[in-house]
Every structure is written in structure tokens, then in C-alpha cells.
Amino acid sequence: MTKKEALYNYIIQTADNNLILGQRLSELCGHGPELEVDIGLTNIALDLIGHARSLYQYAAEIQNLGKDEDQLAFLRARHEYFNVLLVEQPNEDFAYTIARQFFFSVFNYLFYSELQNSNDSQLAAIAEKSLKEVAYHIRYSSEWMIRLGDGTDVSHKKMQVAVDDLWKYTAELYTMSEVDQLMLEEGIGIDLNKIKALYLAKVEEVMEEATLTIPTNGWTQKGGKEGQHTEHLGHILTEMQWMQRTYPNMKW
């Protein structure tokens, strides 16, 4: 893999995380448990897809094949998406939506905090700009983790089930892939080993306040960063790409 290819993949991986999670949140718009939540989650979706857009624009520039942001976002094959498995997991119920958001937002915050120091000035600028919004995503999702975890017996059980089901996808967030390693060596990407302890500390702190338990069986699921996805991504793409695939080469 050349440096240019690795950089392209690195940007795409980051963009895909944001887009796919934003897409999942969009499914819920208008169907939230209360109006305030509808507005809150839609706001997060808006932030994430906004960040994704800046990243795809930059990826298109690096790729330099005359493609635009939409061709990158909508017209790749399933194995060319490099998002982590966590973000493609479905909205089983509100507890899953919140746990997924929380696990991702903590990572995303630490990731952007470090990426601000990248020697790639474009990535550093995107990271800096996104950080303030992601700080709000952590606050929002932590508060709901605690409210639901320490709310009623029913909400506690549902929250624990969601945590148990999604926990196996969290290790991928801080595991270095080949692309991550190459970018670290170039001074562009961040050292995920460095944020692992911070990630676990923040998650544990919130989980404790939420009276929730972290699964200890050590089982992890990975592959998204290499394009090996769960069954869910194909369905997400079918819907998301439908217009672009059915009506190609049109302006919208």
C-alpha cells in the first residue's frame, strides 16, 4: 500500500464511521420516545454526516480521480467501506441506540483530540472543528446511559442487554489496522494504543454511575476497517445508495 492509498483509506474509514452512524440515526427521525429526543438525535445525525462530508471532500481530493463527495459516499461496493462494525449495528431499541452512540462518541472524542496534532493540516483542521460537537455527543449519550441504567428495573435491564450485545464491537475502535499503523508512522494518524486506556477509563466511569456492568468474557468482533462487515451493512447500503444507483450521473 502506498502512502497515498493509506491516507485515502484512513480518511475514508473516518468518513464512513460518521456517515453510517448518521444514517442509522436518520432512520429514527420522527420516531423517538419523545420530541426532545427526536430533535437531539437528529442533531447528532446532522453533525456526523456534516463531518463525513468534509472528509469525503478531502478523500476525493487525495484520490484525484475526478470523483466528488457523493460518488465516494454512495457508489462504493460493500467491501470498500471501512467503518467499524459498531456503527452499522441496528436500532434494536432506544437502549441500543444510546449504547452505540455512547461507545462511539467516547472513541470519536479521543480520536479527534489526538488527530488535531496530525501533521496533515487538513485532517487536523477537520478534527478541531468536529471536536466541540462530539463533546456534546458524549454528554448527551452519557446522560442517557445513566438515566436508563439507573432509572427503572425495566430500563436497567434493557440497557444492560444493549451493552452486553454491543460490547464485543468496542475493541475494534482502539485496535490498530495496517492503515492505522502506516498513518501513525507518517505522523498523520493517531496511536490507538495511546487512547485505549483513556477510552476504557471514561466508559467505566459512566457505566459505574449508570449501575451497568461491562461484560468480562473478552469476546471481540472486528473486520470493518478491512472491509469485512456484519450482515447489516448490505441493507444500509441498499437503501442509502438506491437513488444514485437507479438514476446514475444526475445532479440532485
Partner 1 sequence: MDNSNLHNLEEKFQAKIDAEIKIEPKDWMPEKYRKTLIRQISQHAHSEVVGMLPEGNWLTRAPSLNRKLILLAKIQDEGGHGLYLYSAAETLGISRDELVDQLLTGKAKYSSIFNYPSINWADIGAIGWLVDGAAIMNQVMLTRTSYGPYARAMVRICKEESFHQRQGYELLLTMSQGTDEQKEMVQDAFNRWWWPSLMMFGPSDKESTHSAQSMKWKIKRKSNDELRQAFVDATVPQAEFLGLTVPDDQLKWNEERNHYDFGPIDWDEFWSVVKGNGPCNRERLKARQKAHDEGAWVREAATAYAEKRRKRKAEKESTQVA
Is 36 among the residues that bind partner 1 (CB under 8 A)? yes
86: cell is: 459498531
Q: What does each C-alpha distance from 219 to 85, 132, 170, 194, 214 come to in angstroms? A: 14, 33, 10, 21, 12
For residue 144, give the nearest of 37, 24, 48, 23 by alpha carbon. Answer: 37
Is 90 among the residues that bind partner 1 (CB under 8 A)? no
Interface residue with partner 1, options 5, 61, 93, 178 (CB under 8 A): 93
* CB of 227 vs partner 1, minimal distance in Å: 21
Q: What b-and-e string marks burial along 136-146, b requiring 16 or more CB atoms within 10 Å of the CB?
A: ebbebbbebbb
Distance, CA of 21 to CA of 232 (rounded, Å): 12
For residue 103, give the nearest of 89, 114, 117 by alpha carbon. Answer: 89
Distance, CA of 179 to CA of 112 (rounded, Å): 17
Is 53 among the residues that bind partner 1 (CB under 8 A)? yes
Interface residue with partner 1, options 3, 5, 29, 178 (CB under 8 A): 29
Q: Which stretch binds partner 1 (CB under 8 A): 38-46, 81-89, 174-182, 184-192?
A: 38-46
Q: Which stretch binds partner 1 (CB under 8 A): 25-33, 188-196, 199-207, 225-233?
A: 25-33
* CB of 71 vs partner 1, minimal distance in Å: 10
Interface residue with partner 1, options 2, 64, 77, 252 (CB under 8 A): 252
204: cell is: 467505566
Residues 229-248 that bind partner 1 (CB under 8 A): 239-240, 242-244, 247
* CB of 106 vs partner 1, minimal distance in Å: 21
Residue 31's identity, in one-letter code, is H
Interface residue with partner 1, options 63, 67, 70, 125 (CB under 8 A): 70
What is the CB-side half-sphere exposure of residue 216 using CA atoms within 13 A? 2
Is 52 among the residues that bind partner 1 (CB under 8 A)? yes
Residues 135-164 that bind partner 1 (CB under 8 A): 146-148, 150-152, 154-155, 158
168: cell is: 464485543
* CB of 150 vs partner 1, minimal distance in Å: 6
Distance, CA of 193 to CA of 209 (rounded, Å): 26
Residue 50 CB coordination number (10 Å): 15
**Sites of contact with partner 1 (CB under 8 A):** 19, 23, 26-27, 29-39, 42-43, 45-46, 49-50, 52-53, 56, 69-70, 73-74, 93-94, 146-148, 150-152, 154-155, 158, 239-240, 242-244, 247, 250-252
